[in-house]
Amino acid sequence: MFSVCSSLSQPLEVLELPYLCLTSTDLAYLSCSQHAPFLRELDLSENWLDESSLPSLRRLLAQAENSLCQLSLCGCGLSDTLLGALLPSLSSCRALRSLRLALNPLSRTGLLSLARTAAGIPSLRLLLYPNPLEEYEPGLPALPSSAQLLDWPLLEESEDRDLTRRLLEEVLNLRGRSRDLLVTSDLLNYSPDLTVDD
Q: Over range 113-129, report the average pLDDT.
A: 98
How much is the pTM?
0.91
Q: 2 pLDDT band (50/70/90 cuts)?
A: low
CA 90 to chain centre: 9
Please tell me whether residue 149 adopts helix, strand or coil conformation. helix
Q: How far apart are CA 106 and CA 81, in angstroms?
A: 9
Q: 198 pLDDT band (50/70/90 cuts)?
A: very low
CB neighbour burial string for 8-30, b if at least 16 within 10 angstroms, e if fewer:
eeeeeeebebeeeebebebbbbb
For 129-169, the pLDDT digits (tens) are 999 999 999 999 989 999 999 999 999 877 888 999 999 99
For 27-73, the pLDDT digits (tens) are 999 999 999 999 999 999 999 999 999 999 999 999 999 999 999 99
- List, in sequence order, every residue forming a beta bridge with 153; answer none if it has no partner: none
User: Residue 128's CB: how many other CB atoms inside 10 A?
Assistant: 20
